[in-house]
Amino acid sequence: MSISLLADIGGTNTRFVLANNNCDVLFDSYEAFRNTSAESPELLIKRYMKRQGIDSCDHVVLALAAPVNEEEVVLTNHNWRFTVKSISAASMSNDVLFINDLEALGYGLSELGAEQLQHLAGPRSLDKKGPRIVIGAGTGFNAAIVTQLENGEHFVKAMEAGHMTLTVETQDEFELWQYLAKGRGRASVERAISGRGIEQTYQWFCQRNSTPVVHMNARDISIAASNQSDLMAEKTMQTIANIFARTIGDLVLAFLPTGGIFLSGSVTRAMMPWLRRASFFDAFVAKGRQYDLMHQFPLYILNDDQAALHGCKIAAKQHSLRLRGM
């Protein structure tokens, strides 16, 4: 039986699953690992394959939290460097395909059922043939645009949205921008909307309010804010949610995704109590003369951590068809 190895390599975690010769996912083979548990993705692939009892793979598709237009891939938020050649050697495969992780999420949207999506705001009806945007906020930030071709297939183009300049509106936000930009010359979207961004924003609020800085990770900050046990954590999460809403709104104006906006990632999930508030949607639609237009776009939360792996499966199918000239 032909075996395909599908992997979603993020900035913090790597998820694996196998697929058969029909590109059907073998769900029993799913495993996830912390990136810090291995010195390289090659070693992690070898470990996974050994645990699955396989010596080689016919095809490998990796969804990567990095630009993939270069021979050598450097993960944006983890110190891994690798190439198609090194992955080929580790997996004993002559057919290795790299795609961006948001590109994989974009392909994976067509595989998701209602139980994997949670309506957040806007209309519930979708223009099924309209363009979609998938946005990931976690270790880093990025987005992809999904369009449907005449033959029914989807074309997905990943962005580098995390490196857009962070836009601010209030004096407090401008002062935060200056703090995040210190030593860098500018503050990007990812400097705020990411796990590290939450941590640095919390530190800024503590320093600004002469409050002792409690060193917490993004998850603990969100929990403290939800419990209302730390005022600086509450201010942090509300500020990040406002910036998130505004950034999503800017992307919507650029691409007009009548097929919906789909939000994913660990930071998105951590912000859920704030995303459900009216203030989030108010910030999203606050686009001046385009206020009414902004109400036309549905927002959904993507709840499936394996969505990118489903996208890898679709990319593998399309890649196989191209190789066969079909």
- Please name the residues in contact with 38: beta carbons below 8 A apart, sequence gap of 6 or more: 44, 47
pLDDT (tens digit, 9 = 90+) per residue, 119-134?
Answer: 999 999 888 889 999 9
pLDDT band at 235 (very low <50, low <70, confident <90, very high): very high
CATH superfamily of 4-100+306-323: ATPase, nucleotide binding domain (3.30.420.40)
Report the candidate in 244, 241, 225, 245 with the shortest Cα–Cα distance to residue 233: 225
Q: Left, alpha or beta for 92 (phi > 0: left; psi -120 to 50: alpha)? A: left
Select from 148, 173, 147, 174 the least CA-distant residue to 158.
147
Amino acid 22 reads N
* pLDDT tens by residue, 40-94: 999 999 999 999 999 999 999 999 988 886 678 998 889 999 999 999 999 999 9
* CATH 3.30.420.40 domain locations along the chain: 4-100+306-323
In the chain, residues under CATH classification 3.40.367.20 are: 113-303
Greatest Cα-to-Cα distance within the chain, rounded to the nearest angstrom: 65
The phi, psi pair for 224, rounded to 5°, reads: -60, -40
The β-bridge partners of 97 are 61
Place of tokens 């029914």: 152
Contact by Cβ (8 Å): 252, 297: yes
CA-wise closest residue to 99 among 258, 310, 323: 310
In tens, the pLDDT along 156-194 reads 999 999 999 999 999 999 999 999 999 999 999 999 999
For the beta carbon of residue 81, count every other beta carbon within 10 angstroms. Answer: 13
Task: Look up residue 162 and give its DSSP letter.
Answer: G
Structure tokens at 225: 């804010």
Instruction: Could you please state the CATH topology (level 3) that the domain comprising 113-303 is classified under.
Output: Hexokinase; domain 1 (3.40.367)
Burial class (CB in 10 A: 0-12, 13-18, 19+), 111: middle
- Which tens digits make up the pLDDT trace of 268-310? 999 999 999 999 999 999 999 999 999 999 999 998 888 899 8
